[in-house]
Amino acid sequence: MLDHNKIYNPLSNFNKAINKLSANGIRPTKQRMILAKLLFEKGKRHISAEDLFDEVREEDRKISLATIYNTLKQFTSLGLIREIVVDQNKSLYCTNKESHYHLYIEDENKVIDIPTKNIDLNIPSIPACLKLHDVDVIVRIRTLKEKYKN
């Protein structure tokens, strides 16, 4: 599954990610390459470190969960992926590079992208010495189950 795309495409998300690592002086180790392939060659998605760990094992590879966490943090700081902190103990990582917000279905632990145009934000004016860097929106919803009815 890993090398289904034999034709080198410099504009693929995987190759752009590897180029970004090199441009930042980070060696594209075998482990980073495996994780980048899993992250960027399966389309836009949201994945946890634990799920990525399972996918690595399904490919008969061995990468420790600690290395996966570190690599995800590194990829996030390079802007290759976005971290969605769904609660204080859990993050999901988004591979969609386009500007968007998130809808989080709490009891299904599922994240869906929402186009930014679907949500009107009234952002207060920002002092001239500062600039707006980014806006993260997570809309949290729950399915209507008995336990949530109050």
Q: Where along the sequence are the contacts to Zn ion (CB under 5 A)?
A: 94, 96, 113
Instruction: Give the nearer residue to Zn ion in terms of CB position, either 63 or 72.
Output: 72
Place of tokens 């809808």: 103
Q: How far is the CB of 5 from Zn ion (least distance, A)?
A: 23
Please give the single-letter amino acid code of residue 6. K
Instruction: Give the nearer residue to Zn ion in terms of CB position, either 53 or 104.
Output: 104
Q: How far is the CB of 141 from Zn ion (least distance, A)?
A: 15
Q: How far is the CB of 35 from Zn ion (least distance, A)?
A: 18
Q: Which residues fall within 8 angstroms of residue 44, CB to CB, at 6 or more apart?
A: 94, 95, 96, 113
Q: How far is the CB of 95 from Zn ion (least distance, A)?
A: 8
Give CA–CA dist 56/90, Å, rounded: 19
Contact at 8 Å (CB) between 140 and 102? no
Tell me if residue 74 falls in helix, strand or coil.
Answer: helix
Instruction: Give the nearer residue to Zn ion in terms of CB position, either 71 or 95.
Output: 95
Instruction: Give the nearer residue to Zn ion in terms of CB position, either 39 or 94.
Output: 94
DSSP assignment of 33-66? HHHHHHHHSS-S-EE-HHHHHHHHHHTT----HH
